[in-house]
């Protein structure tokens, strides 16, 4: 179905979405680029002129830069690994016959509905707190000194929170994928003499690969810009400062717009590297 008239119509109908997204992408991006070359300090006189690559050099040579990149990758990768592995296991479990499957599914889904500021605060105070948190209570109950998790294990704390939020998502997608597997395929493999573990590796895992791709793509998009969970828990302290958070501090707390914008450009470059990599995989898988 493609007449000239319908192709023209198609272009017109696509236009609003494309135009607003293009504007959304380009206008702030160009402004960020502009600021990144300025010496812009709103609290100390505003725009103090051209800065060349000073901001870029300062940002990347600052002692906080590489730890922030590392922190970002740690949180993204840590959460991805945990949610995908546990998600596969949980999906396999939920696919088994049981009583009250619907209710279990409701329970598992629930964390996805919890806004990040809430999950951050609830975990930080009611579970991870070294005085009144449940973890501390549990530690005392077995005679161990409670740990101040947020300070002593900030990555563990943050990854715990993000994984708790995203595990339902991974589980549900993977469960949907497993359920769409033709059970005759498994029966055939069983007839062919494949033991359970081999059926899992050679039939279920390949069948789920597309779903796993989707999980990784979507989660990466959201995890790269994790903000609120850190904002309300460590506030970037104790080495848990991600790139996002570092830039946020430069812009809003130190009010150094030039420096923050240069950081923003770095973050955009980092995101694009990840994006290109992901888009390759997804593009291949998108021909549905």
Partner 1 sequence: MGQIELKKVTKRFGETEVIPPLDLVIGEGEFVVFVGPSGCGKSTLLRLIAGLEDITSGTIEIDGQDATAVGPAKRGLAMVFQSYALYPHMTVRKNIAFPLKMAGMDAAAINAKVTAAASVLNLTDYLDRRPGQLSGGQRQRVAIGRAIVREPSAFLFDEPLSNLDAALRVNMRLEITELHQTLKTTMIYVTHDQVEAMTMADKIVVLRAGNIEQVGSPLELYRTPRNTFVAGFIGSPKMNLIDGAEAAKHGVATIGIRPEHVTVSKDGGDWQGRVTVAEHLGSDTFLHVASDLGQMTVRVGGEMNVRHGDTIWMTPDMTHLHRFGADGLRTP
Partner 2 sequence: MARSITARRKTINTAIAWSIGLLIFFPILWTILTSFKSEADAIAFPPKFLFFDWTLENYAVVQERSDYTRYLWNSIIIAGLSTLIGVIIAIPAAWSMAFVPSRHTKDILLWMLSTKMLPAVGVLYPMYLIFIKLGLLDTRTGLVMVLMLINLPIIVWMLYTYFKEIPGEILEAARMDGASLPKEIIYVLTPMAVPGIASTLLLNFILAWNEAFWTLNLTAAKAAPLTAFIASYSSPEGLFYAKLSAASTMAIAPILIMGWFSQKQLVRGLTFGAVK
Q: What is the DSSP code (8-state) at residue 239? A: T
Give, in order, the Cα–Cα distances in Å from 231 to each of 42, 64, 132, 219.
Answer: 23, 17, 21, 19
Cβ closer to partner 2: 81 or 93?
93
117 binds partner 2 (CB under 8 A): yes
Give the shortest CB-224-to-partner 1 separation in angstroms: 39
Beta carbon nearer to partner 1, 2 or 142: 2
Return all residues near 83 (Cβ < 8 A) that are at least 6 apart: 163, 166, 167, 169, 170, 215, 219
Shortest approach of partner 2 to residue 108 CB, angstroms?
5
Residue 175 CB, nearest approach to partner 1 (Å) = 27
Check residue 4 for interaction with partner 1 (CB under 8 A): yes
With contacts defined by CB under 8 A, name the span among 17-25, 44-52, 62-70, 194-202 that binds partner 2. 17-25
Task: Looking at residues 65 to 104 of the shown chain, list those that interact with partner 2 (rule: CB under 8 A).
Answer: 90, 93-94, 96-104
2 binds partner 1 (CB under 8 A): yes
Q: Are 233 and 64 in contact (CB under 8 A)?
A: no
Q: Which is nearer to partner 1, 4 or 102 (CB)?
A: 4
The binding track of 128-147 with respect to partner 2, each residue x by CB under 8 A or -, is: ----x-x--x--xx------
B/e letters for 211-241, b = 16+ CB within 10 Å, e = fewer, are bbbbbbebbbeebbebebbbbbbbebebebb
Q: Are 229 and 158 in contact (CB under 8 A)?
A: yes
For the segment 146-185, give every residue that binds partner 2 (CB under 8 A).
164, 167-169, 172-173, 176-177, 180, 183
Round the CA-based radius of gyration of the chain to a whole number and report it.
Answer: 24
The interface region with partner 1, picked from 2-10, 17-25, 92-100, 169-177 by CB under 8 A, is 2-10
Chain centre to alpha carbon of residue 121:
18
For the CB of residue 257, give the shortest distance to partner 2 in the complex, in Å: 5
3-state SS assignment for residue 49? strand
Q: By three-state DSSP, how is residue 100 classified?
A: coil
Residues that bind partner 1 (CB under 8 A): 1-5
């Amino acid at each position: 179905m493609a007449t000239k008239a319908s192709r023209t119509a198609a272009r017109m109908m696509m236009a609003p979405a494309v135009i607003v997204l293009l504007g959304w992408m380009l206008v702030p991006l160009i402004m960020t680029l502009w600021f990144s070359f300025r010496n812009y300090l709103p609290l100390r006189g505003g725009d103090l002129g051209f800065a060349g690559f000073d901001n870029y050099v300062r940002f990347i040579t600052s002692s906080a830069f590489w730890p922030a990149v590392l922190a970002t990758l740690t949180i993204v990768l840590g959460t991805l690994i945990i949610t995908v592995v546990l998600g596969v296991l949980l999906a396999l479990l939920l696919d088994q016959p049981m009583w009250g499957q619907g209710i279990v599914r409701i329970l598992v889904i629930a964390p996805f509905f919890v806004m990040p500021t809430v999950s951050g605060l609830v975990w930080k105070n009611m579970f991870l707190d070294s005085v009144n948190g449940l973890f501390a209570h549990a530690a005392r109950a077995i005679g161990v000194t409670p740990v101040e998790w947020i300070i002593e294990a900030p990555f563990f704390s943050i990854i715990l929170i993000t994984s708790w939020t995203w595990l339902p998502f991974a589980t549900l997608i993977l469960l949907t994928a497993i359920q769409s597997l033709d059970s005759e395929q498994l029966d055939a493999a069983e007839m062919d003499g494949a033991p359970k573990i081999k059926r899992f590796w050679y039939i279920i895992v390949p069948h789920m690969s597309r779903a796993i791709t989707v999980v990784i793509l979507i989660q990466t998009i959201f995890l790269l810009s994790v903000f609120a969970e850190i904002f309300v828990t460590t506030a970037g302290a104790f080495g848990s400062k991600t790139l996002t958070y570092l830039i946020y501090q430069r812009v809003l707390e130190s009010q150094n717009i030039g420096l923050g914008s240069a950081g923003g450009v770095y973050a955009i470059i980092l995101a694009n590297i990840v994006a290109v990599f992901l888009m390759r995989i997804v593009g291949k898988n998108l021909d549905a």
